[in-house]
Amino acid sequence: MRLFHCTYCGHKLRFRQSACSQCYQPTPYYNRLRFWLILTLAVLAAAAAFALSLIV
């Protein structure tokens, strides 16, 4: 799965790759799985908090 481009050389990055395979620069944080896991958890937590505030 190739979603993002390297910010240094424009090479297409494989998702979850921590470094560009062409220029070996570190990839942006949004190419890491952990970023999306934390983002998803944060959104779910916010949605849960919002739902609870409607109920209570």
Contact footprint for Zn ion (CB under 5 A): 6, 8-9, 11, 20, 22-23
Nearer to Zn ion, 8 or 35 (CB): 8
SS3 readout for the chain: CEEEECCCCCCEEECCCCECCCCCCECCHHHCHHHHHHHHHHHHHHHHHHHHHHHC
Minimum Å distance from CB 31 to Zn ion? 11
CB-nearer residue toward Zn ion: 22 or 40:
22
Residue 12 vs 37, nearer CB to Zn ion? 12
